[in-house]
Amino acid sequence: MTRRAAAAKVLSRNEIVRRFGVERRTGSLVFTNGCFELLHAGHVDYLERARSLGDVLVVGVNSDESAARLAKGHGRPIVGEADRALVVAALESVDGVCVFEEDTPETLIRAIMPDVLVKGADYTLEQVAGREVVQDRGGRVELLPLLEGRSTTGLIERAREVTL
């Protein structure tokens, strides 16, 4: 397998569709999304398990504005979108990353039409953006359990305690 540089895996929406869209792919495409603000073991585990559900994993990363609208706290995201996308793209399990501006990745999901849509089990099926799009074309939605005690919010809280 040829290893690609992380920066080569961070793609615009048009490039993601061109490279991974339904017309171009031969295997099954898995899609997930998130802020991935401070990459931690929970993210790595989650993305590796997501990748195991298909042949290719594409990750949507919330833009800075989109992440801020999720109201995760004052001053967040701490890490900018370009850096967050690059760090996610550096993972071997990830084949492509696309930053999206909308509140949900549904427009991106409609553009690439994944075979498998993955979210963490902290969501319900009804809360998964793009679920109906994927299921209506015969795809499936998977909710993966998260590693206990691993979260960006927890990391930020611990860091604040240490610096006080």
pLDDT digits (tens, 9 = 90+) for 51-94: 999 999 999 999 999 999 986 667 778 899 999 999 999 999 99
Q: Provide the domain count of the chain.
A: 1
Give domain status of residue 13, yes or no.
yes
Of the listed ranges 6-10, 14-18, 111-115, 160-164, the least confidently predicted one is: 160-164
Q: Note the pLDDT of residue 160.
A: 67
CATH of the domain at 10: 3.40.50.620
Q: Please compute the mean of the pLDDT values over residues 93-122 and round it to a whole number.
A: 96
Q: What digits encode the pLDDT tens for the residues 6-53?
A: 999 999 999 999 999 988 888 999 999 999 988 888 899 999 999 999
Give domain status of residue 41, yes or no.
yes
Give domain status of residue 70, yes or no.
yes
Q: Note the pLDDT of residue 4.
A: 79
157: Cα separation from own chain's centroid: 23
Give domain status of residue 59, yes or no.
yes
pLDDT range class, residue 164, cuts 50, 70, 90: low
pLDDT range class, residue 142, cuts 50, 70, 90: very high
Give domain status of residue 151, yes or no.
yes
Q: Note the pLDDT of residue 128.
A: 97
Task: Name the strands in the sheet holding 96-100, side by side, starting at the edge strand that comes first in the sequence.
Answer: 96-100, 56-62, 29-34, 116-120, 140-144
Give domain status of residue 1, yes or no.
no
Q: Which domain holds residue 52?
A: 6-163
Give domain status of residue 142, yes or no.
yes
Alpha helices in the chain, H assignment, sequence order: 6-9, 13-20, 41-51, 64-69, 81-89, 106-112, 131-136, 152-163
CA–CA gap between residue 22 and residue 58 (Å, rounded): 13
Mean pLDDT, the chain, whole residue set:
90
Using DSSP, state whether 87 is helix, strand or coil: helix
